[in-house]
């Protein structure tokens, strides 16, 4: 997609899990995860200037969450409610009024998507949002799940390809995830496409 997109108040920027534990030095770091921050700040400014909705999702796990290795899951303990690692990256310039969505808050439920059990789709529809623009961490898990659920919920969905980074547990996972998102109907763009 190369044509320009004009952001309006019917759009929402969804920033997925840009938390300290997913950035270098954190408990579950995404390689170069912090590199999305300056790019996301450019998006935040454009969306804020247009009066659009800005959403920030976060993993907000109880200490006994099932995704943690010590409770039979596959991940190291990360983003535990109220810990430093669960905080948003300090350089992320979230404006006042950002809608913060906490997910995976129940110990026995995994939730990679910002739409999973959060009521986000209903909230966005209620305020007239038609298009969502998704960036953040990690491409092959929470970003992918959020994008897939956004498409399923009927939103025109854009993947911000210059503002995502993946885990790549298996080499190529992120690229595969991008192809899956596009196959489901998401479109990709970069900050240069925004008017």
**Residues noted as catalytic:** 17, 103, 142
Of all helices (H) and strands (E), which one includes residue 150?
helix 144-152
Dist. CA 50–CA 53, nearest whole Å:
9
* Token pair listed for 42: 């450019």
Closest CA to 130 of 43, 6, 26: 6
Whole-angstrom distance, CA of residue 195 vs CA of residue 193: 7
Rounded-to-integer distance, Cα 153 and Cα 186, Å: 12
Contact 68, 61 (CB under 8 A): yes
Residues 6+ apart with CB under 8 A from 172: none
Measure Cα distances from 183 to 87, 127, 187 in Å.
33, 28, 9
Secondary structure of residue 111 in the 3-state scheme? coil
Gap between the Cα atoms of 178 and 31, Å rounded: 17
């Amino acid at each position: 997609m190369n044509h320009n997109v004009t952001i309006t108040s019917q759009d929402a920027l969804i920033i997925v899990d840009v938390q300290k534990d997913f950035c270098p030095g954190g408990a579950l770091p995404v390689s170069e995860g912090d590199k999305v921050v300056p790019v996301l700040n450019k998006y935040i400014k454009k969306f804020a200037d247009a009066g659009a909705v800005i959403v920030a999702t976060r993993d907000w796990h109880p200490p006994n969450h099932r995704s943690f290795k010590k409770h039979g899951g596959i991940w190291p303990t990360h983003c535990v409610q109220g810990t430093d690692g669960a905080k948003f990256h300090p350089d992320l310039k979230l404006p006042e009024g950002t809608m913060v969505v906490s997910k995976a808050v129940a110990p026995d439920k995994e939730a990679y998507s910002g739409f999973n059990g959060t009521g986000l789709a209903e909230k966005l529809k209620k305020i007239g949002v038609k298009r969502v623009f998704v960036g953040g961490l990690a491409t092959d898990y929470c970003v992918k799940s959020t994008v897939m659920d956004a498409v399923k919920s009927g939103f025109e969905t854009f993947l911000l390809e210059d503002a995502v980074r993946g885990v790549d547990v298996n080499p190529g996972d992120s690229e595969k995830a991008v192809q899956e998102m596009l196959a489901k109907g998401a479109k990709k763009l970069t900050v240069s496409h925004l008017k």
